Amino acid sequence: MKTLVLTKASLAWLVLVALTVTQWVIGTHSGLGGPHNVSASLVIFAVAVFKARLVGLYFMELREAPIALRGLFEIYCIALLVVLYTMYLLG
């Protein structure tokens, strides 16, 4: 059972849960996530895309996919962050 449960995917899951709780605290804490707090929002976006990348690499198993497929996913993650930042700052 250990071989099934003790995997990098399980570790990724723990990180995802921890980041979700942290994100929630940052977003709800008035001092950090209050109105017009641009830097907190940028951190929240970066954490969100990092979490999405973890899901792709470890849950979808793209870490072990051929370079073309993994590369496409990595490009998507970068493009997603660029779009979110650009539209948030300039939108």
Please give the residue ranges that form the binding site for other proteins (CB under 8 A).
1, 3-5, 7-10, 13, 16-17, 20-21, 23-24, 26-28, 33-37, 40-41, 44-45, 47-49, 51-52, 55-56, 58-62, 64-67, 69, 72, 76, 79-80, 83-84, 87-88, 90-91
The answer to whether 35 and 41 have CB atoms below 8 angstroms apart is no
Task: Classify burial at 57, counting beta carbons within 10 Å of its beta carbon; exposed 0-12, middle 13-18, buried 19 or more.
Answer: buried
Q: What is the dihedral of CA 41, 45, 48, 52, to 10 degrees?
A: 170
**Least distance to other proteins from the beta carbon of 49, Å?**
7
Shortest Cβ 91–other proteins spacing (Å): 3
